Amino acid sequence: MRLIPLLLLLFCTLAGADEARFDKLTAQQVYASLSQLVLVDVRSPEEFAEGHVPGAVNLPHDAVTDYLHLLQGQQQRHLVLYCRSGRRAGLAAAQLQQQGFQQISLLEGDMPGWQEQGFQVQK
């Protein structure tokens, strides 16, 4: 019985490990630099359709390699990834880093943080 809480703790720690490796930018920082960044929404296509940061590319976290063509020619640009809670963005960021993308940050607060700041959402 004591093994289950330990396994749960280990899983939660490992799940956030990818997210911790990347810098985070606030919604204000991202908004101020929108034209210089490539925004990547790693949520599902259904979540993306419900509303996303204007100009963001939808690259579902569970199919990153299938959607890499959407980032063709962007390897030298600064990517900012987000999802709903940060977990999927961290996983996708690690995959993109393995594919040669070096300038990767995560949106602090993810999509809820963007909306809480009152910034525009595109549908």
pLDDT in tens, 94-105: 999 999 999 999
Number of helices (H) and strands (E) in the chain: give both, helices first.
6, 5
Tell me the residue ranges of DSSP E strands in 32-96: 37-41, 57-58, 78-82
Q: What is the pTM of this model?
A: 0.84
| Distance separating alpha carbons of residues 74 and 2, to the nearest angstrom | 47
pLDDT band at 19 (very low <50, low <70, confident <90, very high): low
| % of residues, the chain, pLDDT over 90 | 83
Q: What confidence score (pLDDT) does residue 38 get?
A: 98
Cα–Cα distance between 25 and 16 in angstroms, integer? 17
In this structure, what token pair is assigned to residue 62?
A: 């569970």
